Structure 1
């Protein structure tokens, strides 16, 4: 393997037969290039799916009341289920050992005004724990706290774009503005870059304040909770089922009624999405490996031609005492050199193309397409093994040729 004369001879042979070498190497370069790009695209697709879930906490469950679809215990179907503060407190106590945070949500649409500036925005009336579920970053002022809930404070945390719309370049914290002609004080400004403009045009208020202002009710539109991650995916599914069962008991809903409550466990959405992404990536890998194998078959065919072209030379070598293993080793070594050299060129070009793309393909749901170092090493190993296999068959055939037959070849 480390015979200097053999290495010198291999590079001399490659140098003398540039066209033949280029033809042999081109198939390998093309195969590994396509493989690298396809694999990188698969990773980019997976990155997009991961990114879409990074904005909110993953260990969350969203519970929304709807209408019943079946009669139960004297209640008719199509009965509208309504949640109240007691339902939130019930879940908080019942599942305290598995919950980290729990909050209500009340949704309102408002017309907001500050001096001569107007705008229409969505309001979410929430508890302080809501910031952990949404992973909201308050970069000015503060978020809603428990004292705001207790005192029904007319305060608001506004999105970055709400501040820009109504207050321009002015710092909104401490300023007063109106929502549906009711005056609130801005206590904080948040940003949520992962969710786009709509999220940053949202306003948060204390849930108790909104309940008192609008019809003095304890009704809530949604219950959101964050569970302890230590319970795992199976524990999260079990928790969802237990919550559904308890709420159906409290609101006299038929156990088989699937319409009365909507319980969305984010971990299930994440698992399904990532499974889909992994399936797509497997398909991409299979196509890429098929392309790589096509390149290997190409180099195998060219090596057959190379061996046939050098039949007389190999015959002279055997006549001078060269062993079959020596002939096989020489051809395999030349094959590996060509495979590694042109395979590396394919990897470099492929990585360059992927790096050049960056986030230009986000509209096609491909974010930061890339290939890891482990994949590159694995692809290199595959290349070497494939090159050895591709060269072995013609090399073995050459080693079996009798010297007298090889010398007669024209």
Structure 2
């Protein structure tokens, strides 16, 4: 069989020139000698780029940590959710006086389901007392929050079920005396490693069977932290503690593709209509829109990131100007050497390539040093802050940012060496050799 000839790259092609430049050990040795010839000047020149990249890494890492920390405060909430509670009326209406106190009722939920089809999930809530050692098991006890809710509430404010399950529709329909306890409640009432599922605890004087242990996902929480709460079926809590048909709080999410603001406005309008409240009353129905909070945070992070990159890139380009100035000085000092090279047959492209390569190497080495030191410092800060809940969480940069930084360094190195390279190319061999 005839052997295939290996593919040969033309010597004058782009890839050929690039390959020769990469593997030309003499060129790299020459670059190293040039950079280390005046070490103090090289270090001071590189420091501008080093400091700019170091500060950029720190600022991006800090911005990411701030973003993660703030996002963790509302991590468990559905981004399209909103919540409602009652207040005193601020306007007289249809014979009712100003300042009237009113309550949401069980019947309101079904009316809202029918009149606000844009709402996907609805869950009324009740809050119980948290007196001294209101939750007891044997000789152990503590003071914890008590909540009553529907199964849908776990789709509005998500909690992590460590063991067991959450409330289901059968618990609601049969008014079962069951409960979910928070992680902190478990630690107080049970021994480490003990199975809590199926055990009885006394909540405000009434026994309930534990069906689940939950951990919070967000630092912020409605009616207190999930870790320190006991969650009961809504209907059971109403009957067991004589709550009547009153609702303390209402959570809702919008249908996919529908803004939470639409649901928020329609539910407010519906509640005002049911309870004879003026449509213009701004205080009778209070609400919070989580979608607006997410939008506000996103806009804040966009602004912070934009400011970080503007300041960081500005510092880097300031360092590049310093590199460019020093390279001009270097070219001026090496005028005679460049003239001799030209006289011996070096092409303008050879001279430009030499100067650009020196500039890029100096810039990239300084920038990599800034990246390494910045990442190391961020890692140390992350370890120091790893315990507890903070608004400043896991300060790190992404892999994409690191790759992007290296690309920026190449651009900056090329920019810094461009003007000196042009200056070197314009040197005439005869005049350069004559120069003392």
Whether TM-score is above 0.5 comes out as yes
1:176 aligns with 2:200: yes
Residue 42 of structure 1 is aligned with which of 54, 63, 66? 63
User: Which range is displaced more, 56-65 or 167-176?
Assistant: 167-176
Per the alignment, residue 145 of structure 1 pairs with 168
Write the mapping of 1:82-93 to structure 2, written as runs, cut at 5 A.
82-93=103-114
The residue matched to 1:54 in structure 2 has which SS? Answer: coil
Measure, in 2, the Cα distance between the counterparts of 1:404 and 1:328: 19
User: Which range is displaced more, 71-80 or 176-185?
Assistant: 176-185
Q: TM-score, normalising length from structure 2?
A: 0.85
Which ranges of structure 1 fall in alignment gaps of 5 or more residues? none
1:391 aligns with 2:417: yes
* TM-aligned CA deviation for residue 73 of structure 1: 2.0
Return closer, same or farther for 1:308/1:87 CA change in 2, 3 Å cut-off: same
Measure, in 1, the Cα distance between the counterparts of 2:88 and 2:343: 92
User: Which range is displaced more, 362-371 or 87-96?
Assistant: 362-371
1:259 aligns with 2:283: yes
Measure, in 2, the Cα distance between the counterparts of 1:350 and 1:116: 53
Q: Does the 8 A contact of 1:59 with 1:266 survive in 2? A: yes
Q: Does the 8 A contact of 1:103 with 1:225 survive in 2? A: yes
Q: Does the 8 A contact of 1:359 with 1:367 survive in 2? A: no
* TM-aligned CA deviation for residue 219 of structure 1: 0.5
* TM-aligned CA deviation for residue 322 of structure 1: 4.1
The residue matched to 2:129 in structure 1 has which SS? Answer: strand
Measure, in 2, the Cα distance between the counterparts of 1:294 and 1:390: 10
1:154 aligns with 2:177: yes
* TM-aligned CA deviation for residue 308 of structure 1: 1.7
Measure, in 1, the Cα distance between the counterparts of 2:318 and 2:343: 36
Measure, in 2, the Cα distance between the counterparts of 1:216 and 1:128: 19
Return closer, same or farther for 1:359/1:274 CA change in 2, 3 Å cut-off: farther
Per the alignment, residue 239 of structure 2 pairs with 212
* TM-aligned CA deviation for residue 114 of structure 1: 2.3
Per the alignment, residue 141 of structure 2 pairs with 118
Bigger share in helix: 1
Per the alignment, residue 406 of structure 2 pairs with 380
Q: Does the 8 A contact of 1:49 with 1:274 survive in 2? A: no
The residue matched to 1:164 in structure 2 has which SS? Answer: helix
The residue matched to 2:207 in structure 1 has which SS? Answer: strand
Return closer, same or farther for 1:58/1:311 CA change in 2, 3 Å cut-off: same
Residue 52 of structure 1 is aligned with which of 60, 67, 73? 73
Write the mapping of 1:4-403 to structure 2, written as runs, cut at 5 A.
4=24, 6-96=27-117, 98-110=118-130, 111-169=134-192, 170-192=194-216, 194-195=218-219, 198-215=225-242, 217-228=244-255, 230-232=256-258, 235-361=259-385, 365-403=391-429
The residue matched to 1:186 in structure 2 has which SS? Answer: strand
Return closer, same or farther for 1:212/1:24 CA change in 2, 3 Å cut-off: same
* TM-aligned CA deviation for residue 165 of structure 1: 1.5
Q: Does the 8 A contact of 1:49 with 1:277 survive in 2? A: no
Which ranges of structure 2 fall in alignment gaps of 5 or more residues? 1-17
* TM-aligned CA deviation for residue 266 of structure 1: 1.1
* TM-aligned CA deviation for residue 218 of structure 1: 0.3
Measure, in 1, the Cα distance between the counterparts of 2:358 and 2:283: 69
The residue matched to 1:195 in structure 2 has which SS? Answer: coil
Return closer, same or farther for 1:117/1:8 CA change in 2, 3 Å cut-off: closer
Return closer, same or farther for 1:286/1:241 CA change in 2, 3 Å cut-off: same
Q: Does the 8 A contact of 2:74 with 2:219 survive in 1? A: no
Q: Does the 8 A contact of 1:112 with 1:119 survive in 2? A: yes
Return closer, same or farther for 1:138/1:316 CA change in 2, 3 Å cut-off: closer
Measure, in 2, the Cα distance between the counterparts of 1:330 and 1:51: 51
* Number of equivalent positions: 406
Measure, in 2, the Cα distance between the counterparts of 1:260 and 1:123: 25
Q: TM-score, normalising length from structure 1?
A: 0.90
